[in-house]
């Protein structure tokens, strides 16, 4: 579950979201990983308060869910990947999220800084893992897939240790399928990346009925106007098929990444949906209300049912499996028509960073951290002892 939606970029007042209810319901549904970032406005604070709410703490131990955040991106055009800032950011996230440890921390939006800066940030995150014991896994996130693959290879080459995770967003959608290319997946395999996650299945709002030009997204979405219009041209195609564009986009992305991303996926612990231990491509979906959460979980469970072996003898499961396969065929047919409408906009990626980008964080200020007491309150502790058997099989 992504929580970039706990932010004014997506909703007018994120503090009015029923965050504790959403998080509690997510855990009840078996959603055991939460993704956030200090760049997402109040997201870390809102998620942390939700996780600390008695409706969660009374029924769910910290070891029962996987907590993911990021470091390095401060604002839209401000980045600080220095070890000092990364360390400060991690300890501030611990405080905001009310947790003694983080499961995974990404260097956030790596394409905006130099490879040397990314390497320095990754080294510091690993030091925080090995010496301070406040995090368990280290990864990178960003938009240009080729850059992510380049950096994953560089980090393995320079450190001798592969990345635990790479988060790609907006590149396995009905508009952009770049991440699913065999050559690209091979590059991540060669870099020995354990898990590659697919985020933003709706293209940060592009692939919705209201589109990126409606609501808060209009002021910041990086897509060009032509792409926005092309995505809106998909809405009537979905309607003519008796569907919503959002439903088609989510179903298609979940279905495809579950299998295409399986080699770089996570272990499935739900034997009803797939044999225990089977790897499944990991998708991240931003949620802003319980209805979205429940619908996405329903779709994902249906997708998994479609992969059940023909040898099953459970009549009810056989019926659901067949329904899922029929549903997959219908969605595939709709998406084929959508690709024809998208034309040259299919697999289009906007430039990131855009032309003329300048990091507004002055060189002299990099590594300068606020005097707010965060580091004093979190002196390095002994390595957190985690019972691995109790940790959900997410990575």
Euclidean distance between CA atoms 72 and 121, whole angstroms? 8
User: Half-sphere exposure of 349 toward its Cβ, with a 13 Å CA cutoff?
Assistant: 19
- The DSSP-derived string for 280-317 is E-EEE-B-SSHHHHHHHHHHHHHHHHTTS-TT---HHH
Burial 136-147 (b: 16+ CB within 10 A, else e): bbbbbbbbbbeb
Nearest to 191 by CA among 149, 158, 144, 159: 149
Contact 18, 290 (CB under 8 A): yes
Task: Tell how strand 279-280 and strand 266-267 pair up.
Answer: antiparallel
Nearest to 251 by CA among 302, 175, 305, 289: 302
Name the catalytic one among 10, 39, 40, 143: 40
Euclidean distance between CA atoms 298 and 303, whole angstroms? 9
Residue 137: beta bridge partners?
104
Contact 167, 73 (CB under 8 A): no
Contact 3, 46 (CB under 8 A): yes
Contact 348, 227 (CB under 8 A): yes
Q: Is 81 a catalytic residue?
A: no
Euclidean distance between CA atoms 15 and 93, whole angstroms? 18
Nearest to 156 by CA among 124, 119, 191: 191
- The DSSP-derived string for 116-132 is HHHHHHHHHHHHIIIII
Euclidean distance between CA atoms 246 and 329, whole angstroms? 17
* Geometric angle at alpha carbon 20, from 17 and 22, rounded to 5°: 70
Known catalytic residues are 40
């Amino acid at each position: 579950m992504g929580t970039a939606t706990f932010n004014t970029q997506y909703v007018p007042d994120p503090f009015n979201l029923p965050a504790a209810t959403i998080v509690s319901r997510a855990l009840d549904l078996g959603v055991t990983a939460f993704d956030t970032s200090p760049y997402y406005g109040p997201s870390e604070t809102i998620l942390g308060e939700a996780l600390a709410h008695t409706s969660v703490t009374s029924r769910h131990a910290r070891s029962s869910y996987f907590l993911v955040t990021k470091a390095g991106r401060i604002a839209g055009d401000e980045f600080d990947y220095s070890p000092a800032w990364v360390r400060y950011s991690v300890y501030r996230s611990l405080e905001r999220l009310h947790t003694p440890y983080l499961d995974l921390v990404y260097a956030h939006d790596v394409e905006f800084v130099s490879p040397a800066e990314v390497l320095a940030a990754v080294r510091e995150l690993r030091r925080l893992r090995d010496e301070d014991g406040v995090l368990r896994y280290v990864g990178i996130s960003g938009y240009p897939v080729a850059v992510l693959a380049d950096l994953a290879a560089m980090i393995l080459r320079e450190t001798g240790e592969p990345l635990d995770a790479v988060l790609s967003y907006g590149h396995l959608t009905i508009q952009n399928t770049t991440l699913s290319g065999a050559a690209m997946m091979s590059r991540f395999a060669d870099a020995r990346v354990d898990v590659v996650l697919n985020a933003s299945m709706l293209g940060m709002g592009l692939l919705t009925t209201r589109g990126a030009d409606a609501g808060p997204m209009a002021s910041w979405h990086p897509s060009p106007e032509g792409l926005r219009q092309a995505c809106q041209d998909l809405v009537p195609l979905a309607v003519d098929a008796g569907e919503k564009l959002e439903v088609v986009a989510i179903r298609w992305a979940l279905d495809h990444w579950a299998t295409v991303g399986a080699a770089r996926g996570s272990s499935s612990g739900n034997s009803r949906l797939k044999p225990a231990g089977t790897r499944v491509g990991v998708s991240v979906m931003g949620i802003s209300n319980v209805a979205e959460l429940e619908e996405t979980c329903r779709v994902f469970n249906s997708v998994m049912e479609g992969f059940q072996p023909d040898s099953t003898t459970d009549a009810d499961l056989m019926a659901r499996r067949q329904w899922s396969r029929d549903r997959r065929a219908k969605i595939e047919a709709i998406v084929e028509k959508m690709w024809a409408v998208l034309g040259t906009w299919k697999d289009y990626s906007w430039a990131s960073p855009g032309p003329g980008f300048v990091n507004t964080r002055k060189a002299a200020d990099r590594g300068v951290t606020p005097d707010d007491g965060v580091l004093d309150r979190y002196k390095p502790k002994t390595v957190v002892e985690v019972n691995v058997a109790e940790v959900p099989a997410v990575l």
